[in-house]
Amino acid sequence: MRRTALLLALLLLSAACTITLGFNPTPVPPLVPAAGEEATVTRVIDGDTIDVRLDNGQVVRVRYIGIDTPERDQPCFSEATAANTALVGGQRVRLVRDVSNTDRFDRLLRYVYVGSTFVNRELVAQGWARAVVFEPDRLHYETFRELERQAAQANIGCHPTGVFQR
């Protein structure tokens, strides 16, 4: 029953976007991973980086996989950071690994979920982030690219600033 209600809500949202915004987002249901490490967000650094307290008490920095948001000296930095804060600030999150564990700065590389909300995906869909791939971590890259295309076409989030032009 709950799954039926979720699918109906996604169909209605898709129809509303088509009518009001002139674009039809790819209906992708929230992805709730089977496994992942639980943590609490202690600080939002920017649009794609957070600090979390793991259940063992350790505080670590996490870099979101597959997305990139504006840097401190670029247009839309504050807005992308605020969007990330609205999604994860102070929340319990689930951290899901792709292939790599850390990057060259020793940050954990993870997909981030708050409940059933896939944060990486949501930031791209709302136009606050662009899709990027750093091999070998590419599990959701094609989905992120399509969502980025749709957000750019709708000219939402950071896209009006031109910050994501490649």
Contact residues for 76 (Cβ-Cβ < 8 A; gap 6+): 69, 70, 128, 157, 158, 161, 163
Q: 48 near 63, Cβ under 8 Å?
A: yes
pLDDT for the residue numbered 155: 97
Do 78 and 63 reside in the same domain of the chain? yes
Residue type, 92: R
pLDDT for the residue numbered 33: 60
Do 128 and 60 reside in the same domain of the chain? yes
Contact residues for 17 (Cβ-Cβ < 8 A; gap 6+): 23, 24, 25
The verdict on residue 166 lying in a domain is: no
Q: Where in the sequence is the domain holding 6, given as residue range(s)?
A: 1-30
Angle (CA) 146 87 80, round 5°: 65
Do 79 and 133 reside in the same domain of the chain? yes
pLDDT for the residue numbered 32: 57
Do 20 and 58 reside in the same domain of the chain? no
Do 3 and 77 reside in the same domain of the chain? no
Q: Which residues pair with 62 in a beta bridge?
A: 50, 108
CA 108 to chain centre: 15
Do 57 and 16 reside in the same domain of the chain? no
pLDDT for the residue numbered 18: 42
SS3 151: helix
Cα radius of gyration (the chain): 16
| Dihedral angle of Cα 71, 163, 74, 17, to the nearest 10 degrees | -70
Do 71 and 11 reside in the same domain of the chain? no
Number of domains in the chain: 2
pLDDT for the residue numbered 26: 46
The residue among 125, 135, 58, 136 whose CA lies nearest residue 95 is 58
Show pLDDT as tens, one digit a residue, over the chain (166 residues). 444 444 444 444 444 444 444 444 444 444 556 589 999 999 999 999 999 999 999 999 999 999 999 999 999 999 999 999 999 999 999 999 999 999 999 999 999 999 999 999 999 999 999 999 999 999 999 999 999 999 999 999 999 999 998 6
- Counting Cα atoms < 13 Å in the Cβ hemisphere of 13 gives 11
Active-site residue list: 63, 71, 107
pLDDT for the residue numbered 8: 42
Do 56 and 98 reside in the same domain of the chain? yes
